[in-house]
Amino acid sequence: QPWHVGVAMLAQHAQVPIIPAALVHTRNLLEDRALRPSRRPIRVRFGPAITLASLTGTSRERLHKIQELSFTGVEQLLASLTR
């Protein structure tokens, strides 16, 4: 699914960095129609902060750049977790 700019808008408005995060094996937590999560391992990895101060351009251009950087950061984390 395409990413939306919601996180980018929040980060830009609050003037805070974005921390990319990736989780894998989360489907293992909820077995078929279980009411409670199971105790199975998942993997979580956080990437380096994406700072917004150095971004230039119009507000819309900055939002799309933040969105692109966030997506790339998460893709790289997922790739490192699934090797």
pLDDT digits (tens, 9 = 90+) for 5-22: 888 888 888 989 999 999
pLDDT tens digits for range 24-78: 887 777 776 777 777 778 889 999 999 888 888 888 888 888 888 999 999 999 9
Q: Across 13-63, where does the E strand assignment appear?
A: 21-24, 43-46
- The model's pTM is 0.72
pLDDT(80) > 80? yes
- pLDDT of 24: 86
Residue at token pair 């995060």: 21
What is the DSSP secondary structure assignment for residue 23, as one 8-state letter? E
The rounded distance, in Å, linking the Cα atoms of 75 and 65 is 15
Residue at token pair 């351009």: 57
